Amino acid sequence: MSSNQGIQIYNENPWYWQYNGEPVVLKGGSDDDNPYQWTGKKLTDHLDLMTSVGANYIRNTMSDRDEGNVYAFKKVKDEKYDLTKWNNEYWNRLNFFLDETSKRGIIVQLTLWDKFDIGDQHPWDSDQNINIKTGSLNGREDFFSTVDRKDDQQLAFQQGYIDKLLSITFKYDNVLYNINNESSESGGWENYWTRYIKDKAGKTGQKIYVTNMQLSATNAVRHVMSNPEIFDFVDISQVNQDSKGARGAAHWDYLMFLRQKIASFDPMPMNNVKIYGATDGSTNFSAGSETEAIDRFWRNIFAGCASVRFHRPSVPEKRWGSGLNERVQVNLKAMDMLLQKLDIFECAPHNDLLSPRVSVPSMMEAYVIANIGHQYAIYFPQGRYKVDVDPWVYADELRLQWLDINDLKWSEPEMVEVEWDGGKNDWGFKGMITLETPSNSPCVALLEIVE
């Protein structure tokens, strides 16, 4: 990989990524968590739909528990698998997936291990293969403790699988690596595999970027910050659900809490490969509503996060996400429209510039990302809101445009005056531009200093 090719941390602003030398905001939504298992037009049509609405980011767990999935290993005799022989179809699917995402400039966040796969019918179970003594490796607890138990014999088979995986993924420069899905495993397991794949990459002269994903966003950030020599970015997906994260203004506060910790240490990309929240009216109270998922999508971007992706939908009775449904498509398009006008890589979150214009401030939702003295974007969720924005620098007027997210339309530009408390020339305490949302629809106000 040349010095400016492939996915890398943006060299001018380490909160973000760059791809082929250009800064990029990663955003997406997809209808499965392991799309590498898809074949033919089912995959390519979905990828084409993604790119048509501005998506450039997809999640892929190396998972194999769904109907129609195939395993990595070859079945040899007595309906058992050989952990040293490969099922070519599995690896061909991965190659096809990485070929097609690479062609479209889609960044893949690839998860090595998924604890929900490891069960008593999986090839890794000792009763299902010819390589491990029967009864010696049963279930996820045994599987994920090989490092801590120093079980070199069983660990060797896990290494063999990862070696084969890396022999394919290292051919591509659009891959970010995550060790575990919703890990509750030991730090030893996480750190072992991070060092293992980084060592393999180093021997090929490649630079790869690795994180972990735990069931608590706070723990995930804490673990990365405790091991900065091996981890490169954080995945904070668990802030994006009702049960382990937050909603509304509390969600923003959680994001700011994590960003502050990272900023005090060493800025790095904050990824959200999963934003939970399904169809409004869903009975999955852990995930939250789809409206909240959309608000989380916008808040994450305005909080300076490097990536956002709507989580895949699940079975109707327990939906976890929205995937790439029509409502998600509209919001991806709207975000593209904003980013064409807003130089977000020069911005930072700035809710400190806001003052509510209501008697109960906690009822007023608005979120600001700004490059003070140049551009200010304010996201308003669905509802009617009225706020004051202080441009902070001395200015007489700013240009204002409204983006109606649902209608995908920009308003005509208008000039708005800054009112200075005490007068601009009398060292006013603060400047004020009063913004009142033009309708109940979610929208973005874009203010620009043009003098």
Q: Quick one: pLDDT at residue 317?
A: 61
Structure confidence at residue 187 (pLDDT): 85
**What does the alpha-carbon distance between residue 125 and residue 205 come to, in Å, rounded to a whole number?**
35
Render each residue's pLDDT in the chain as its tens digit; 451 residues.
446 689 999 999 999 999 999 999 999 999 999 999 999 999 999 999 999 999 999 999 999 988 899 999 999 988 899 999 999 999 999 999 999 999 999 999 999 999 888 877 899 998 899 998 887 767 788 888 899 999 898 999 999 999 999 999 999 999 999 999 987 778 899 999 999 999 999 999 999 999 999 999 999 999 999 999 999 999 999 999 998 999 999 999 999 999 999 999 899 999 999 999 987 666 678 888 999 999 999 999 999 999 999 999 876 666 889 999 999 999 999 999 999 999 999 999 999 999 876 665 556 799 999 999 999 999 999 988 999 999 999 899 999 999 999 999 999 999 999 998 877 777 667 889 999 999 999 999 999 998 7
The residues that bridge with 61 in the sheet, in sequence order, are 111
- DSSP for 307-349? EEEEPPP--GGG----TT-HHHHHHHHHHHHHHHH--GGG-EE
Return the H-helix or E-strand segment holding 376. Answer: strand 375-380
* Predicted local distance difference test score (pLDDT) of residue 5: 86
**CATH 3.30.70.980 describes domain 7-345:** no
249 Cβ contact list (under 8 Å, min separation 6): 362, 365
Domain ranges of the chain: 7-345, 350-448
Q: Could you tell me where the beta strands, DSSP code E, fall in 42-155?
A: 57-61, 73-77, 80-86, 107-114
For residues 293 and 299, the answer to whether their CB atoms sit within 8 Å is: no
Cβ atoms of residues 366 and 380 within 8 Å: yes
Distance separating alpha carbons of residues 215 and 421, to the nearest angstrom: 47
CA dihedral 223, 229, 232, 234 (to 10 degrees): 10
Give residue 254's pLDDT.
Answer: 97
Provide the pLDDT for residue 387: 92
What's the confidence (pLDDT) of residue 357?
A: 66
Q: Which fold has domain 350-448?
A: Immunoglobulin-like (2.60.40)
Q: By C-alpha distance, which of 450, 288, 446 is closest to 380?
A: 446
